[in-house]
Chains A and B, each alone.
Chain A
Amino acid sequence: MSRGWSICWKEWRVMLDTPLGYVVATAFLLASGFFFGKNLFLVGQADMRSYFSALPLLLLFFIPALSMRMLADEQREGTFELLATMPVRMLEIVAGKFAAVLLQVLTLLALTLVYPLSLSLLGHVDAGQIAVSYLASLLLASVYVSVSLYASSLSSHAVVSYVLGFGMLLGLFLLGQAAATLPPAAQDWIVVLSPIQHFGNMLRGVIGLEDVVFLLAVSAGFIALTWFQLERRRWR
């Protein structure tokens, strides 16, 4: 697995050396600040619930941007051939890329820890609930990363990958939103299948095993799809 980490390290070097990572980070923190500050200053409520409920929508825009070039650029620049002819398993490549983007998202989320810290100066905060909410955000992010990584494997154009990833994530997102308009029998299914629903369950401050397992399983599923997609390309 050390080769997976080498790939992860390389992606970090690329992110630190190119503007994309900084642009995405700045935009994310600005948008985050807006959603956090809105509740605090306009409503006068010192909690993070509204921030975390806005997070699925926020990540929808930013995670495909962080993932789009991961595999698309490798195909486009021909470096995928370099990568695939080195002694590394295809799954290690996918895992390394996944870890790289997830760590970038984790860093962004870690920067938002100033919100609960500043809240704790103002009054009492429910530390347990906030901690679980961060765990839920990380799990949701891993679903988003795996989906947009899969999108990146489908095209050799980063922008096409972004649009594909955004579209797929929007589909998942709307799945939860549309539930209310469907007949009750269908609603039960949608509730089970929507990552946003499972994320929402965890925001209450309870670590539900089925929520954690579901979010991890969806991530693993899309990682596997990405892996198959890369293998399949070789056989065409």
Chain B
Amino acid sequence: MSEQSLSLDQVLALKHGSTGEVVNVDEEVTKLVVFSLGEDWFAFRGDMVKEILIDNEVFFLPGCPASLEGVINVRGDIESVVHLRAVLGYPLASTLLSSRILLGHGKSMRSGIRVDRVEDVLDVPQSRFQPPPHTIAAPFKGIVTGIVTGIVTQGTQTISVLDMDALFEDYRAGLR
């Protein structure tokens, strides 16, 4: 027997790799909360998303831009809700049944974030993160510039990983 023996779970994890890639089971993984806006997939780091809310009543507030949907009461705490579609420059659509509010906690700010659909929660090894492209395709230009920290490919989908702190800071400063 070799000195560094694998557990059965580790062996099975290796065998289940559908693409046949060799996975370093000791490699650090990052949890991602993957969601979609229309056909496009995005993610926030899992440690920034405290909760996924399904059916909270949103209170409309006067004097707010269309990208600020209102506030929600989460067990006695009041949180703002931003419409990520509007923040990222997507056209606003009526709220879908699949829509969810991600309760995001940044370093200095927190808010609910409305997305069209939560697609998955993934544990992604560091080696699968690719840097954001230098040239961003036309539909995304100006939308996600500066807030994409990496790209992850999952099957046929490309997931843009967003920096929640940068998003909040930009939004607070009125840049989005």
> Are A and B bound to each other?
no
Instruction: List residues of chain A with CB under 8 Å of any chain B CB.
Output: none
